[in-house]
């Protein structure tokens, strides 16, 4: 029998959250032991014993919902806000799934000069493959754009999302990314974009929805430091009381890597956006994932800071919260990205694959 460790920091929580040690039977079917650590150690021994007893005997295949029910039945007090039954259940699932924490990794931070939208799409794929192959560490990449663009999600219809006349009139480049999610309208001076490319172990044991909130928690901390009122809105948005600030999308690779990227509105030219995007118009075809109609509240409406200041603050906050080193796109990765851009991401076969 072996012991495994799992922990889960509740997004937005002031404390680290629950840490759990679980013992699995030699047949790999059930839990034969559980020990609580973290915030719960300050609680009465009787509560800890009830929680641990509720976990012993659970099947290793139980999901978060069933584990939460077992723990809630153990007369769990409502006062433990950063160690709720659900948080402990997630920590258990992470222990059983071989999870890692932010502190287990050193992140490469990459912030380089502007490149074309096609190269950005290709770099997402290439860097994710590099992390999967172990040739680079987990990476935060801050993007700089060289032109106004529309970026389609992997499963969106070009015909439904983009007005071709408006795109031509405003000189807008249309590309498609490898991840899902909705359409991104990009103006270089008005948009902030970044990618996190991490091992899937960082979000092991979490639902797809929970992984978004977990990977974006640092962003809320950085925005709060700038005086921005922001909160996470399921499934994949960061919003203020007045509207959407940012949206996220993900791609899970078979190599065990999660590509998670965020596009944030610093400012917005709504006139151009509405002439280029068909989001607020009836769809032309019954194909593809449709973008949601949401009011946008750009950062500039809340703060008196330049786009560059915001990007610098995001990078500084991430470096201060996690262990980081300076990173760069390697010559091999750059060459591979440019090859992919030419052979895949610039082609109509890819961009218009869902017409």
Both 92 and 205 in a single domain?
Answer: no
- Residues 134, 242, single domain; the answer is yes
- What is the token pair recorded at 96? 């059983």
pLDDT tens, residue by residue, 83-125: 788 889 999 999 998 899 899 999 999 999 999 999 999 999 9
Q: What is the pLDDT of residue 3?
A: 87
Range of the domain at 65: 2-99
Residue 47 has pLDDT above 90, yes or no: no
CATH number of the domain to which 118 belongs: 3.30.930.10
What is the DSSP secondary structure assignment for residue 279, as one 8-state letter?
T
Ranges of beta strands (E only) in 89-157 are 107-111, 139-142, 149-152
Q: For residues 95 and 39, state if they share a domain.
A: yes
List Cβ neighbours of 26 (8 Å cut-off, separation of 6 or more).
1
Give the three-class secondary structure for 224: helix
Rounded distance between C-alpha atoms, residue 185 and residue 251, angstroms: 19
Q: Could you give the dihedral angle defined by the CA atoms of residues 278, 283, 285 and 290, in that order, rounded to the nearest 10 degrees?
A: 80
Distance from C-alpha of 128 to C-alpha of 257, rounded to nearest angstrom: 7
Residues 172 and 25 both lie in one domain: no
- Say whether pLDDT at 80 is over 80: no
Q: Is the pLDDT of residue 250 over 90?
A: yes
pLDDT tens readout for residues 253-292: 999 999 999 999 999 999 999 999 997 666 666 565 666 5
Say if residue 32 is in the same domain as residue 46: yes
Please state the domain count of the chain. Answer: 2
- Please tell me the distance from the alpha carbon of residue 200 to that of residue 132, in angstroms, as a whole number: 10
User: Which H or E run includes 240?
Assistant: strand 237-240
Same domain, 149 and 278: yes
Domain stops at, among 41, 67, 99: 99
Write the CB contacts of 320 (distance below 8 Å, at least 6 apart in sequence).
none
**Same domain (yes/no): 131, 24:** no
Chain CA centroid to CA 70, Å = 29
Q: List, for residues 157-208, the tens digit of each pLDDT value.
A: 999 999 999 999 999 999 999 999 999 999 999 999 999 999 999 999 998 8
CATH number, domain of 40, equals: 3.90.1010.10
175 and 249 housed in the same domain? yes
Among 52, 75, 99, identify where a domain stops: 99
Residues 122 and 220 in one domain: yes
Report the chain's mean pLDDT, rounded to a whole number. Answer: 91
Same domain, 331 and 287: yes
CA distance 308 to 315: 11
Considering the chain, what percentage of its residues have pLDDT values greater than 90?
74
């Amino acid at each position: 029998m072996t012991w495994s460790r799992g922990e889960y920091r509740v997004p937005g929580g002031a404390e680290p959250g629950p840490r759990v040690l679980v013992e699995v039977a030699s047949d790999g079917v059930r839990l034969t032991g559980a020990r609580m650590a973290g915030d719960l150690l300050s609680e009465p021994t009787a509560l800890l014993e009830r929680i641990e007893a509720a976990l012993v005997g659970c099947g290793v295949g139980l999901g978060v919902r069933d584990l939460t029910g077992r723990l809630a039945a153990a007369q769990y007090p409502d006062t433990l806000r950063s160690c709720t039954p659900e948080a402990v259940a997630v920590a258990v699932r992470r222990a059983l799934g071989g999870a890692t924490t932010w502190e287990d990794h050193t992140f490469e931070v990459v912030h380089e000069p502007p490149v074309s939208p096609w190269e950005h799409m290709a770099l997402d794929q290439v860097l994710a493959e590099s992390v999967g192959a172990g040739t680079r560490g987990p990476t935060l990449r801050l993007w700089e754009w060289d032109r106004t663009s529309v970026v389609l999600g992997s499963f969106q219809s070009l015909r439904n999302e983009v007005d071709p006349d408006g795109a031509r009139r405003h000189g807008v480049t249309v590309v498609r990314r490898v991840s899902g999610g909705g359409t991104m309208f990009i103006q270089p001076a008005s948009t902030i974009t970044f990618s996190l490319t991490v091992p899937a172990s960082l979000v092991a044991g979490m639902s797809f929805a929970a992984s978004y909130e977990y990977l974006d928690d640092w962003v809320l901390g950085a925005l709060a430091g700038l005086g921005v009122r922001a909160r996470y809105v399921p499934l994949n948005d960061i919003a203020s009381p007045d509207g959407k600030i940012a949206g996220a999308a993900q791609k899970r690779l078979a190599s065990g890597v999660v590509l998670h990227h965020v596009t944030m509105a610093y400012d917005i030219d709504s006139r151009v956006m509405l002439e280029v995007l068909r989001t607020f118009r009836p769809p032309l075809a019954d194909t593809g994932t449709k973008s949601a109609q949401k009011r946008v509240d750009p950062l500039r409406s809340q703060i008196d800071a330049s786009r560059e200041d915001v990007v610098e603050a995001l990078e500084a906050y991430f470096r201060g919260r996690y262990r980081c080193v300076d990173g760069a796109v390697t010559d091999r990765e750059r060459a591979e990205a440019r090859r992919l851009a030419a052979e895949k991401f610039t082609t109509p076969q890819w961009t218009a694959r869902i017409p």
